[in-house]
Amino acid sequence: MLQVAICDDERTHREEIREMVLHGLFAHDEVAFDIYESGTQLVEEIERKNFHSELLFLDIHMPEKDGLEVAAYIRERELDVDIFFVTVSAEHVFDGYTYNAFSYLLKPVDVRRMEEELGRYVTKKYAVSKCLHVIINNRQERILLDQVYYFEGDGRKIRICQNGEEQSFYARMGELEEKLREQDFVRCHQSYLVNGKYVTRMAGSKLYLAGEELPVSRKYMEQTRQFVRQRMLRNGERDGINK
């Protein structure tokens, strides 16, 4: 499921973009939308921690708070969202580079141009994101591994801890560990399988990542210590181990 946000002060443009995105992504993924009528409304939802979209279509010319102000706000807070600027003028095209926008589209948006840019987006997104396919609520879902902080096991139920939402599926932690052994995940505890991408350090029997600390059990102590050390050294950092 791809979460898409559209922020535009004109209803007709919001509806046109929504229909184009639904059509352009139909063959690739299911889509859910969050609709914002102004930049101010979008910023307020971010401040309430209610914004979880992965892709944002952002109008530039809006009253009160324009799209460039919103983009600056998003980048200052390092939100993980790809931005498509959608506007009536090419005058701000270089601002797309400033705010690391994925694309810059001119209104009225050409359908073929939108499809091309969505295709490029999907190719890039899923080419760099390895996936785990699981059954959630009787439906097969694709979990992007680079967005997962860690998996937490409780019996046969596995909780996915990631930015913005938590989901659960049924599996054995040992089987999941084996499946993700080559995907930079490490088992630090009977109940935890951690994504090395988010690990910042290890201190004693604690592993720190994504603003949380997880326990490291005696059984998995040595393999976790070696994993953290090798990963930090590979990234040119200090070894990240505090004994």
Is the peptide bond prior to 108 cis by the omega test (within 30 degrees of 0)? Answer: yes
Tens digit of each residue's pLDDT (9 = 90 or more) over 61-86: 999 999 999 999 999 988 889 999 99
Residue 128 to residues 37, 112, 114, 155, 206: CA-CA distances in angstroms? 32, 25, 21, 31, 30
d(CA 70, CA 64): 11
Instruction: Clarify whether residues 206 and 142 are in a common domain.
Output: yes
Owning domain of residue 154: 131-242
Q: Which of 98-102, 200-204, 230-234 has the lowest mean pLDDT?
A: 230-234
Q: Which of 128, 150, 180 is the last residue of a domain?
A: 128
Tens digit of each residue's pLDDT (9 = 90 or more) over 49-66: 899 898 999 999 999 999
- Best CA proximity match to 67, nearest among 9, 116, 18: 9
Q: Which of 69, 103, 128 is the last residue of a domain?
A: 128
- Look at the chain and report how many structural domains it folds into: 2
Average confidence (pLDDT) over 20-30: 86
Q: What is the mean pLDDT of the chain?
A: 89
The pLDDT assigned to 67 comes to 95
Q: How does DSSP assign 132-186, residue by residue?
A: EEEEETTEEEEEEGGGEEEEEEETTEEEEEETTEEEEEE--HHHHHHHTTTTTEE
